[in-house]
Amino acid sequence: MRRILASLITALTFGAFGTKPARAYDMDCAIMLCMAGGFPSSAVCAAAYAEMIRRITPWPVRPPFGICTFAAVPVELGGPGGEGELDISIPEYAWLRKTRVLWFYGRSYEPRDDPRQWDWYVRSCDHENRNCRYHVRVYGSHAPWPARFVSENGQSISFPSSGGHYSFSHRAVMVEFGDYEGNMDHSEWFRY
Q: Are 183 and 166 in contact (CB under 8 A)?
A: no
Q: In terms of DSSP H, where are the helices of the chain? A: 2-17, 27-36, 43-56, 94-97
SS3 144: coil
Bridge-based pairing state of the strands 190-191 and 184-186: unpaired
User: What is the C-alpha to C-alpha distance for residues 105 and 76, in angstroms, rounded to an integer?
Assistant: 48
Count the alpha carbons within 13 Å of 187 in the hemisphere toward its beta carbon.
25
Q: What is the pLDDT of residue 162?
A: 63
The total number of residues shown for the chain amounts to 192
Question: For residue range 58-91, what is the model confidence (pLDDT) as tens digits?
Answer: 766 778 888 787 666 666 766 666 667 777 888 8
User: What is the C-alpha to C-alpha distance for residues 136 and 105, in angstroms, rounded to an integer?
Assistant: 10
Q: What is the pLDDT of residue 130?
A: 82
User: What is the C-alpha to C-alpha distance for residues 50 and 44, in angstroms, rounded to an integer?
Assistant: 10
Q: What is the pLDDT of residue 92?
A: 83
Answer positive or negative: Cα dihedral of 46, 177, 24, 54.
negative
Count the alpha carbons within 13 Å of 37 in the hemisphere toward its beta carbon.
14
pLDDT at 157 over 80: yes
**pTM higher than the cut 0.75:** no
Question: For residue range 107-156, what is the model confidence (pLDDT) as tens digits?
Answer: 988 888 888 899 999 999 988 888 899 999 999 999 888 999 999 999 99
Question: For residue range 29-57, what is the model confidence (pLDDT) as tens digits?
Answer: 888 888 888 899 999 999 999 998 888 88
Q: What is the pLDDT of residue 104?
A: 93
User: What is the C-alpha to C-alpha distance for residues 7 and 3, in angstroms, rounded to an integer?
Assistant: 6
